[in-house]
């Protein structure tokens, strides 16, 4: 909660065992890492804006998790959370991001020219291409913690930055609270409109407070560049188009991001970033690049092949249904995207998608002809 230490100093009058949450039935990253001893060690800390350990973990306490899906179970309230509570967050980051160490450095590379190929994915198979990431604005606390005043400050800065873009990025901002019915219908039809979070993973972290105050959507006139303001992160930036030209999508993504960043920097509010964790976002799972680059691709034969999941794993890719996370595929069409976020650059992650999808389309074509694909199965990337 904003500008208050949420009762923290008062709680210190109680013994550790009386305050320690019951995590015996829990299955999330936070519950795996947080012991009573660790809780006792860091529970008296606060970030400068007053975010506490209990604030960080509340969502993980309230959502025990799922036996098969491992959620993160904690969030950051501000940039400093990752420092002040590193004793808890570093092991969680390591678990979630393939052993990433507290001493590791993350490389950022948003030079689209470094991407090789990506403009020749077969449109008969690759139906659409998309890259998304998030950005947090320095000097403001994050969605779980920010006050109405801060959230409106973020919105004002974002609107100024976004509506000053020109060329292919020229567009319009639609604040959620003053949308007309016609605008709302159009945004729904375009699949752009985001709604108040209903997932308890988010609501228990305080991210739906004051909805829809300070929230909105900007998109360019061509409907290929979209920014969400004050949803799960300060900004979510999306570049997309029909067909398989991932190179063009990524170029627009990088150029757009750089332009936006320039404008924020001019106001003394650049993006939150450091050389250890890359771009700082609300959920530890989105650290690093925060990037999910993916395609909707038709793989009816490959997807039922015995080695499909292994191929994906080796290519460092993941599959989802075409409705996004937690949906099933329809008609053999899959959403294929990069699995990694932290420890490799944007260019490297999109390269994996481009190369991996190209290979899988070749495999699909081979299977169509009744040929085997065993010789094509790649080594672990």
Binding stretches for another protein (CB under 8 A): 1-11, 14-15, 18-22, 46, 48-49, 54, 58, 61-62, 78, 80, 138-139, 147-150, 152-153, 156-157, 159-160, 177, 203-204, 208-211, 213, 265, 267-270
**What distances in angstroms separate CA 231 from CA 8, 216, 309, one per listed residue?**
27, 8, 32
Q: Is 117 annotated as a binding residue?
A: no
Q: Is 296 annotated as a binding residue?
A: yes
Q: Is 128 annotated as a binding residue?
A: yes
Q: Are strands 171-175 and 216-220 parallel, antiparallel or unpaired?
A: antiparallel
What's the min distance (Å) between Cβ of 296 and another protein? Answer: 34
Closer to another protein by Cβ: residue 243 or 270: 270
Q: Are 98 and 340 in contact (CB under 8 A)?
A: yes
Q: Is 320 annotated as a binding residue?
A: yes
Closer to another protein by Cβ: residue 155 or 364: 155
What's the min distance (Å) between Cβ of 364 and another protein? Answer: 45
Q: Is 293 annotated as a binding residue?
A: yes
What's the min distance (Å) between Cβ of 54 and another protein? Answer: 7
Burial class (CB in 10 A: 0-12, 13-18, 19+), 235: buried
Q: Is 132 annotated as a binding residue?
A: yes
Q: Is 191 annotated as a binding residue?
A: yes
What's the min distance (Å) between Cβ of 48 and another protein? Answer: 4
Closer to another protein by Cβ: residue 116 or 265: 265
Closer to another protein by Cβ: residue 11 or 307: 11
Closer to another protein by Cβ: residue 210 or 261: 210
Q: List residues forming the annotated binding site.
A: 128-132, 191, 236, 292-296, 320-325
Binding residues for ATP: 128-132, 191, 236, 292-296, 320-325
């Amino acid at each position: 909660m904003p500008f208050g230490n949420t009762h923290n100093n008062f709680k210190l009058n109680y013994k550790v065992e009386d305050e320690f949450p019951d995590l015996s039935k829990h299955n999330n990253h936070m519950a795996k890492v947080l012991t009573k001893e660790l809780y006792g060690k860091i529970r008296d800390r606060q970030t400068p804006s007053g975010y506490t350990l209990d604030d960080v973990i509340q969502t993980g306490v309230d959502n025990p998790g799922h036996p098969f899906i491992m959620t993160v179970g904690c969030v950051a309230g501000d940039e400093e959370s990752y420092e002040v509570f590193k004793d808890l967050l570093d092991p969680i980051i390591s678990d979630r991001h393939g052993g990433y160490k507290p001493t590791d450095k993350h490389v950022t590379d948003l030079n689209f020219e470094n991407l090789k190929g990506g403009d020749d994915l077969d449109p008969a198979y690759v139906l659409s291409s998309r890259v998304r990431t998030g950005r947090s604005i320095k000097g403001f606390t994050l969605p779980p913690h920010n006050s109405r005043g801060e959230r409106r400050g973020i919105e004002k800065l974002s609107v100024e930055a976004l509506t000053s873009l020109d060329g292919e990025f020229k567009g319009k901002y639609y604040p959620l609270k003053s949308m007309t019915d016609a605008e709302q219908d159009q945004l729904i039809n375009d699949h752009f409109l985001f709604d108040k979070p209903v997932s308890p993973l988010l609501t228990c972290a305080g991210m739906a407070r004051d909805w829809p105050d300070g929230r909105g959507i900007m998109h360019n006139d061509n409907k290929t560049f979209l920014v969400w303001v004050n949803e799960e992160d300060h900004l979510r930036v999306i570049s997309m188009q029909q067909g398989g030209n991932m190179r063009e999508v990524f170029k627009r993504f990088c150029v757009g991001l750089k332009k936006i960043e320039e404008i924020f920097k001019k106001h003394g509010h650049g993006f939150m970033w450091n050389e250890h964790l890359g771009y700082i976002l609300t959920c530890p799972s989105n650290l690093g690049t925060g990037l999910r680059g993916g395609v909707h691709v038709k793989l009816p034969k490959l997807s039922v092949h015995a080695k499909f999941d292994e191929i994906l794993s080796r290519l460092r890719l993941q599959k989802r249904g075409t409705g996004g996370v937690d949906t099933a595929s329809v008609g053999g069409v899959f959403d294929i995207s990069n699995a990694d976020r932290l420890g490799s650059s944007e260019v490297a992650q999109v390269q994996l998608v481009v190369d991996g999808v190209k290979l899988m389309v070749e495999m699909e074509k081979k299977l169509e002809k009744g040929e085997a694909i065993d010789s094509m199965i790649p080594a672990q990337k």
